[in-house]
Amino acid sequence: MALSKFNIDKNVLLKKATMDKHVPDDFYSTTNYTTFIYHNHQWIKVKNQRMDALIVVDENGAVCKKLRDIKRGDMVVCGDTGIKVINENNDGKEDNSFSFMNNYVSSERRNDMIIKELAQDIFYNNKKLTLVAGPVVVHTGGDQYLSQLIRHNYVACLLTGNALAVHDIEKNLYGTSLGVCAKTGKVTHNGYRNHMRAINQVMKYGSIKKTVEAKVLNSGIMYECIKNNVPFVLAGSLRDDGPLPDTITDIIQAQDAYSEHLQKAEIVLVLGTMLHGIASGNMLPAKTKMICVDINAAVGTKLSDRGSSQAIGLVTDVGLFLNLLVTEINRLENKLGTRIAT
């Protein structure tokens, strides 16, 4: 049954949480679609919309909360009475229901048209990209184009892991990415240790920012983030080398840091990372535009299958995509000048 067709003519059912991190068994589990609840005979829009959360109502309105954030005494929405869900990306389809396994990703999609539309959206409408990126950005040579996007004020924030930062710093200190020469594409002698050398350098100064301030790191993605005051979040994982001092190793803190930026996102661009891409999709309202770029079609499909039905999947090389995007933005800049606002 479509969620929007549930009982909406009665006040929502509220029950009190009797302990922290626990709610009544008939709790309402949120979707990523825009949601309203009928409370005190009026419709109230739920704030911080995301999937797999609870709705808590207080004197300030209704808000999505993760189960771990529930406090004893919170008034939690239960059942399905008095709830209206709106799929703003429905495009006239009859089925307005939330579900998994419900989207389509194709390697035959016209990538060039989507790239042009994206470039026009951020150029004409003064929108910024929330970047969710993996280390493949560096390995495919896309880092120079990503750096340009940051430098020209097209990026709101960078959400990534330890690896992208490590290999970006490695490349800009030693000219290699995972020990492979960035210019020749050949494995360098003892290059396998260069990413550890990069971590060691940052450890010496205490943070990426301090490494930039010491003029040791003078180019690259992380350099541009520091110099242009673009916030970044490095979320740690089990496989991290180091990790860098800036990496958040507490996964709950990392989730919260991601969520803070994603709730403000205008356009989310996922570049070659299944882990961080799906995690970000789970934190986003469905109305937020999301584009997933990966050479592996399964990544875009899995993102959609996990409920991010608004995601557009592009099956292509990440470095090539960034090259084409920057080229299109440069074309608009040369034709019309810089953006009206920044």
Which CATH number belongs to the domain containing residue 77 in this structure? Answer: 2.40.420.10
Asked whether the whole model's pTM tops 0.75, one would answer yes
**What mean pLDDT do residues 24-49 have?**
95
Name the token pair of 102: 């419900």
In this predicted structure, what is the pLDDT of residue 255? 96
Q: Is residue 97 part of a domain?
A: no
Q: Is residue 43 part of a domain?
A: yes
Q: Is residue 24 part of a domain?
A: yes
In this predicted structure, what is the pLDDT of residue 111? 84
Mean pLDDT computed over every residue of the chain: 90
Domain coverage including residue 254: 111-336
Q: What is the pLDDT of residues 200-246, one digit of tens each?
A: 999 999 999 999 999 999 999 999 999 999 999 999 999 899 999 99
* Pair (300, 158) in one structural domain: yes
In this predicted structure, what is the pLDDT of residue 309? 76
Is residue 32 within 8 Å of 87, Cβ to Cβ?
A: no
Q: What is the pLDDT of residues 228-240, one digit of tens each?
A: 999 999 999 998 9
* Pair (44, 178) in one structural domain: no
Taking the C-alpha atoms of residue 100 and residue 117, their distance in angstroms, rounded to an integer, is 27
Question: Looking up tokens 């934190």, which residue turns up?
Answer: 283
> With bands split at pLDDT 50, 70 and 90, how would you rate the model's confidence at 2?
very low
Q: What is the pLDDT of residues 122-169, one digit of tens each?
A: 999 999 999 999 999 999 999 999 999 999 999 999 999 999 999 999
* Rg (the chain; Cα; Å): 22
Q: Does residue 171 register a pLDDT over 70?
A: yes
The vertex-173 CA angle with 196 and 234, nearest 5°, equals: 60
